[in-house]
Amino acid sequence: MNGYIKLLLTAFLVCCISSCAKLDPSVYAELGASAPAVYEKGFREDSAVQCMAGWSEGNEVETLVNGAEYFPAMLEAVRSAKKTITFETFVAVDAVVTYDLVMALSERAEKGVKVHFVIDGIGSRKIDERYLAKLRHSGVEVEIYRPFNYFRPLHGNNRDHRKILVVDGKVAFTGGAGYADCWDGDVEKEWRWRDTMYCLRGPVVADLQHAFNDNWKELTGVELSGDGYFPPLSKVGKMRAQAVLGAPQERGDTLGASYLLAIDSAKESLLIEHAYFLPNKELRKALLRARARGVEVDIILPNDKIDTPVVRLTSRSHWPELLAAGVRIYEYGPCMLHGKLIVVDDALSIIGSGNFDDRTFFINDELNVNVLSESFAAVQRAVFERDLKQSQQMTMEDTGYSWAERPKLWAGKLIEPQL
Choosing from 46, 116, 160, 161, the catalytic residue is: 161
- From the candidates 160, 345, 357, 387, which is the catalytic residue? 345
DSSP-assigned letters across all residues of 277-346: B---HHHHHHHHHHHHTT-EEEEEEE-TT-S-HHHHHHHGGGHHHHHHTT-EEEEE-SSEE--EEEEETT
pLDDT value for 150? 83
Q: How far apart are CA 14 and CA 221, in angstroms?
A: 33
Clarify whether 195 is annotated catalytic.
no
In 10 A of CB 217, how many CB atoms? Answer: 12
Query: pLDDT tens across 402-418, in order?
Result: 998 898 899 999 999 99
Catalytic choice (114, 116, 274, 340) = 340
Query: Catalytic: 163?
Result: yes
Amino acid at 205: V
User: One of 264, 305, 338, 358 is an active-site residue; which one?
Assistant: 338
Active site residue 82: no
Q: Domains in the chain and their CATH numbers? A: 5-418 (3.30.870.10)
The residue annotated as part of the active site, out of 46, 168, 207, 357, is 168
Catalytic residue among 114, 116, 163, 318: 163
Give tens-digit pLDDT for 342-373.
999 999 999 999 999 999 999 999 999 999 99
Residue type, 195: D
* Active site (annotated) includes residue 238: no
What integer pLDDT is reported at residue 8 of this predicted model? Answer: 42
128 catalytically annotated: no
The single-letter code of the amino acid at 100 is: D
Nearest 5°: the CA angle 107, 112, 118 is: 65
The rounded distance, in Å, linking the Cα atoms of 116 and 77 is 15
In Å, what is the CA distance from 269 to each residue of 94, 301, 302, 377, 394?
A: 41, 17, 21, 12, 19
Among 226, 230, 168, 164, which Cα is nearest to 203's? 230
User: Does 116 qualify as catalytic in the annotation?
Assistant: no
Q: Which residues of the chain have pLDDT under 70?
A: 1-33
Q: Give all strands (DSSP E) within 121-170, no chain letters.
A: 141-145, 164-167
- Say what the pTM is: 0.93
